C-alpha cells in the first residue's frame, strides 16, 4: 500500500516560519528606524548648539571684553592658538588671564560718535561655517571679520578664518582647540582705528 506525501503540514510550517521572520524583520526595521531618527535629531541639536557657540556666544563675549565668559567657552584643557603659534594658551584660567592683562589702546572720543575712553567699538562677524560632527567630537572651519567704527566711519579692520576642534564636556560643546588665522591683515595707516582685540 502506497502512502501519499503529506505536503499540507510542510506548507503550514513554512508559512509559520515566514510569518515569524516577517514579524522579526518588521520589529528590527522599526527599531533601526527609531534609532536612526534619534541619531538624526541628536545631530540637529548638536549643530544648533555648536552654531550658538561659534556665531553667538563667542563673538558676543569677545566684543564685550567679557574675558571670563570668553574663557569659559573652552574646555578644561582647551587651547587657543594665535599668531601662527606665537601665542598659545591652554585652559580657561590661562586664557582669561592673558586677555585680562592685555592692554588695548583707548578709542578716540568724538562729538559725532561719543565713546567712553577705553571703549572698544568693534564687532566680530562669523560666517561660512563648515562643520563635521562625530559623536562627542566635532571639527569646523569658519571665516571671521572684525569691523571697527571710529568717528562714525566703519571699516573692516581684519579678516581670516578659524580652525577648531570641539569636545562635548559635561553636556556642553566647548573649544578643545581654536586656531585663529589672519588672512587679511588689519590696516596700518595713521588714520586707522585702534587695533581690535584678537579674535
Residue 75 lies in a domain: yes
Residue 194 lies in a domain: no
pLDDT band at 115 (very low <50, low <70, confident <90, very high): low
Res 28 pLDDT > 60 = no
Residue 196 lies in a domain: no
Residue 193 lies in a domain: no
CATH number at residue 67: 3.10.450.50
Q: DSSP secondary-structure letter at 53?
A: I
pLDDT tens, 134-192? 999 999 999 999 998 777 778 888 999 999 999 999 999 999 999 999 998 755 544 44
Which domain covers residue 75, as residue numbers?
A: 9-184
Residue 168 lies in a domain: yes
Residue 161 lies in a domain: yes
pLDDT band at 57 (very low <50, low <70, confident <90, very high): very high
Residue 4 to residues 1, 8, 82, 118, Cα–Cα distance (Å): 10, 11, 88, 104
pLDDT band at 193 (very low <50, low <70, confident <90, very high): very low
Res 117 pLDDT > 90 = no
Residue 163 lies in a domain: yes
Res 10 pLDDT > 70 = no
CB 38 within 8 A of CB 45: no
170 versus 24: the higher-pLDDT residue is 170
Q: What value does the mean pLDDT take over residues 2-29? A: 56
Q: What is the domain count for the chain?
A: 1
Helix (H, G, I), strand (E, B) or coil at 194: coil
Question: In this structure, what C-alpha cell is assigned to residue 138?
Answer: 566635532
Residue 198 lies in a domain: no
> How confident is the model at residue 168, as a pLDDT?
98
CB 58 within 8 A of CB 33: no
CB 132 within 8 A of CB 170: no
> How confident is the model at residue 192, as a pLDDT?
45
Q: What is the mean pLDDT of the chain?
A: 81
> How confident is the model at residue 148, as a pLDDT?
85
> How confident is the model at residue 7, as a pLDDT?
55
Question: Of 33-47, 84-98, 110-124, where does mean pLDDT reach its minimum?
Answer: 110-124
CB 72 within 8 A of CB 91: no
Amino acid at each position: 500500500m502506497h502512502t501519499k506525501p503529506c505536503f499540507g503540514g510542510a506548507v503550514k510550517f513554512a508559512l509559520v516560519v515566514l510569518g515569524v521572520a516577517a514579524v522579526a524583520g518588521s520589529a528590527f526595521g522599526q527599531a533601526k528606524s527609531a534609532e536612526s531618527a534619534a541619531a538624526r535629531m541628536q545631530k540637529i541639536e548638536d549643530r544648533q548648539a555648536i552654531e550658538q557657540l561659534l556665531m553667538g556666544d563667542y563673538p558676543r563675549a569677545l566684543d564685550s571684553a567679557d574675558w571670563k565668559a570668553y574663557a569659559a567657552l573652552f574646555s578644561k584643557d582647551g587651547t587657543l592658538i594665535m599668531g601662527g603659534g606665537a601665542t598659545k594658551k591652554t585652559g580657561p584660567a590661562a586664557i582669561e588671564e592673558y586677555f585680562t592683562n592685555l592692554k588695548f589702546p583707548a578709542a578716540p572720543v568724538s562729538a559725532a560718535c561719543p565713546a567712553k575712553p577705553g571703549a572698544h567699538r568693534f564687532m566680530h562677524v562669523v560666517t561660512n561655517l563648515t562643520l563635521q560632527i562625530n559623536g562627542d567630537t566635532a571639527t569646523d572651519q569658519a571665516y571671521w571679520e572684525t569691523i571697527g567704527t571710529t568717528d562714525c566711519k566703519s571699516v573692516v579692520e581684519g579678516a581670516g578664518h578659524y580652525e577648531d576642534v570641539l569636545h562635548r564636556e559635561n553636556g556642553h560643546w566647548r573649544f578643545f582647540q581654536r586656531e585663529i588665522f589672519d588672512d587679511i591683515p588689519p590696516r596700518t595707516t595713521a588714520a586707522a582705528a585702534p587695533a581690535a582685540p584678537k579674535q
